[in-house]
Each structure stands twice: as structure tokens, then as C-alpha cells.
Amino acid sequence: MSQSEKRSSFTEKILRAFWKGARPLTAAEREEIITELTPLSSPGFDFFLLVVLSTSIATLGLLTNSPAVIIGAMLVAPLMSPILTIGLASVIGDSRMLSSAISALLRGAFLSVLLSFILTIVNINLPILYLQQLPQEVINRTHPSPIDLMIALAGGFAAAYALTRENLSAALPGVAIATALMPPLCTIGIGLAFNDMDVAGGATLLFITNAVTIAFAAGLVFFLRGFGSRRIRKEKRLPQSLFLSAGLMTLLLIPLTYYSFQFFKDANDNRMIREVIVDQVTRLNGSELDSMSIQRNPEGLEVVLTIRTNRLLRYDQVVFLQESLVKELNQPVSLKVNQVFAERLDPLLPPTSTPTRTPTATITLGPSPTPTSTFTPTASPTATPTITPTATPTMTPTATNLPQSVLVGPVTIPPLRIYQQPGGPVIGYIEAGKPIYRLYQTQLYQGLVWVQVRDSENRIGWIPEVYLRTLTPSPSPSP
């Protein structure tokens, strides 16, 4: 037997095994699956309760950037059921089931977006979570690509096939995790809460891609398993609904491909921009780049840098940095720099001692000497002046300002933030009841008195005075 004949025989065996395993279901088996999915097209209290719970879990998982919590939300989410029902109804031609399933999916999606919007607004106004920027788990769901369509296609095949095989029901939780229907809906609500239409739009495209692709894959599997009208099965042709779903998928490939190309182009540009910025920043007093934000607009780039430095940058250095970026990137750059003062310590190199401020002595002059005349009996009656002793200069100590030990008040939940300057970037946190040192400077900002402090890690920054309690030493008992 030749090599080509061996390959042909092996392929034929594989196809026969696949066809035997994916044989069409009997009429009784098909009726059982239809009976199982029909109630899911008209969901009740349980469906919407699971939508509320899974939305809450997914939204908080996205805001806290926790993949484990997001996976838990995927397992609870009930949105896969109406999508599979849409695939089945489109194959068997049940228009009533189809409209009910589409209505259930839209109502569940709307409830999810609304609840995630409300939860995000609550977190923004009551800073339960401190959000300086959108978490990475949110950003990951705003750039759909053809890869997401292929994942949804495979997930739809797996979900529908597992539904038609009783012994494969254990695979459904894994399919729910792979297709990830709930996180994109929650990302839409988060984007609307932050008034970021790019985030909301990208997540909407991802959800539509997943829903349409899963419905198409499910319908194709149901058709191969024997569902559909007798006329269509006898003629051995695909239902019209599958052609419609395939057309929608093809249309979705256009924006997915465009966004993928744009995403990869932006990623490549960002990498080049970051390399240029890191190179230029390291030339400024040995500074280090901590974080970088890049926004593109018609006027050019808006770059916000956070830099760690042991010597604060001067204005002319920032101007030079901006000019260097414009020259290297060959486009206009609007630059803002946040500086974080950081002192580097090495255990092998002890720091040089710094003089401690101590009380100074001030000379205070007493009364000036004044000669007084006294009469002393002598041989001749003449007056002899005698000088009386006068007070000598005394040393009087003058009080000077010293770092004062204070405590952070007990009501700072979450931990109190230390700012580089009043209203500036955050450089650290202090827990309630921790001792710190109050330094010499104060400043009024937004109606609050801010004081300069140094914490236990020797970070120097600013906090509102209202959060401090002065440590008053108790008097020692006298013997």
C-alpha cells in the first residue's frame, strides 16, 4: 500500500468515527432537547436573579482587576441559554421561540449594563475602590479581534454539542468561561460610567460578536444532529437562518479586522514611543519612568509621565524633554510630568550624618554699668567715686521648630494617602493609628490646612492636618 493510500485510509477512518459519534439524534431525543430549551426562551425570576448576581460579581471583579472573580461571574451568568435557544429556534423554524429568546437576551443584557453602570457610579462617588485609571481587565475587553470570533465559534460548537450529549454536560461550565458573555456587558456599563465611549463601543462589538457567532455555531450543530424541518433534511440543504447568521458573522469580520489592525499599529507605536521616552527620561538626573499615559488626538500626542527622581526636575529640563520627544517622534507632543521624590538607600553604603537642629544660645545683655558717687571719710574731705558691680551677660535658650511626633486619626478608611504636594500625585499610604513626624511647612489648599510629614519609611509628603492627633507626653509622677 502506497503512502498516499495509507493517508487516505486514515482520514476515512477519522471521518467515519466522527460521523458515528455525531450521528443524527432520534425523534425522541430531539423532542427532549426542544422540551428542555423551550422554557429558557421565556425566563422568569431565577434568570434575572442570576443576571443581577453575575453582573455584580463581574463588575466588581473588573474594577478590582481580579481574573478569578471574573471567572466566577462567568460560571453564574445565565446568558448562554437564550443564545442556544436562538440557534435551535432558527433551525426548527419556531418564530415564537425565536422572538422570546431574543427578547430574553436583550432584557438580560440591558439589566446587566444598567446594574454595572450603577455599581461603577457608586464606586466613583464613594471611593470604595480608588480608580486612577481603568483596570487592565476592562481594557482587555475593548479591542475585539478575529481571534475572539474564532473563540466564540468554537465555544458555540462545544456548548451545543455538549447539550445534545448527556454525558458531556460537565463541559458546559468550561464553555461558559471560554465564551465570556457577561464581562463585555459589564465593561459597557463601566465605560458609560466613565463617559468613555471607546470602551463602551469596543465592549459592545465584542458582545455582539460572541452572541451572533455562538448562535450560528449552535444552529449548525443542531442541524447536523438532525434538527430542522423534514423538507430541509430531505433536500439536504442548510436552513435560510444559517445563511443569515453566516452573513452577519462575515459582516462582523470587517470591524474586527479593522480594530485588530489599528490595535496592533497603536501597540507598535506605543512601544517605540516608550523606548524614546525611557531613553530621554534616564538622562535627567538619573530619573526613572514610573508610569506613562498616551492619548492621541488630531493635534498630536498627549503624554502624561510619572517620574521617580532623587532631585526634583527644573522647568527648563521639562521643556528640554518635550523638545527632545518632538524631535525623536517627529510629531507634536503635549507633555505633563508628575514628579515623585524618591531617595535610594543602600545597606552597604550608610548615609552621611545630617546635623540635627538644636536649641541655640542667644546673648541677652543686662543693665549697663552706671557709676555712682559715695562719700568715704578720708584725711581730707574729698569725695571718691566707687564703681559698683553690674550684671554680666547671660545665655538665654531660644526655641526652634523640631519634627513633632503625631498619630494618624482612627477614621481614615481606606488608609490615608500621602501626596507629593497638596492635591498632587499619591506617593504612599498610612494606616490609622500609625505614628509619623510632622515637619515644618504648612499650606492652605481647597479650604484645608495641609502639613508636611515624614512617615516610617522616610517618605516626605503632605496630608490634611485634620487627620492628625498630637502625641502629648503624660507627666511623670514626682517621687
pLDDT in tens, 372-385: 554 545 444 545 55
d(C-alpha 463, C-alpha 453), whole Å: 7
Burial (CB count within 10 angstroms: exposed 0-12, middle 13-18, buried 19+), residue 185:
buried
Contact between residue 41 and residue 112 where contact means Cβ atoms under 8 Å apart: no
Contact between residue 256 and residue 148 where contact means Cβ atoms under 8 Å apart: yes
- What does the pLDDT read at residue 109? 92
pLDDT in tens, 428-465: 777 766 778 888 788 887 778 888 888 877 778 888 88
Alpha-carbon distances of 281 from 160, 332, 443, rounded to whole Å: 54, 18, 30
Where are the chain's structural domains? Answer: 20-261, 282-341, 404-470
Of 386, 399, 375, 407, the residue nearest 472 (C-alpha): 407
Of 307, 305, 309, 304, the residue nearest 285 (C-alpha): 309
- What does the pLDDT read at residue 315? 82
- What does the pLDDT read at residue 3? 58
**pLDDT for 40 beyond 70:** yes
Please compute the mean of the pLDDT values over residues 156-164 and round it to a whole number.
Answer: 82
- What does the pLDDT read at residue 398? 44
Chain CA centroid to CA 438, Å: 33
10 Å Cβ neighbour count for 267? 10
Crossing angle for the helix pair 80-92 and 197-224, to the nearest 10 degrees: 50
Locate 93 and state its grid cell: 423554524
Among 16-20, 188-192, 323-327, 418-422, the least confident range: 16-20
- What does the pLDDT read at residue 409? 56
**pLDDT for 410 beyond 90:** no
Looking at domain 20-261, its CATH class is mainly alpha
Of 247, 226, 215, 252, the residue nearest 101 (C-alpha): 215
Element (H, E) at 291: strand 288-297
First-residue to last-residue Cα distance in the chain: 112
Three-state DSSP class for 51?
A: helix
- What does the pLDDT read at residue 470? 67
Q: Mean pLDDT score of the chain, rounded to an integer?
A: 75
pLDDT in tens, 270-319: 788 888 888 878 777 767 888 888 887 878 888 888 888 777 778 888 88
Contact between residue 430 and residue 436 where contact means Cβ atoms under 8 Å apart: yes
Q: What residues does 361 pair with on adjacent strands?
A: 397
d(C-alpha 259, C-alpha 436), whole Å: 50
Architecture of the structural domain at 404-470 = Roll (2.30)
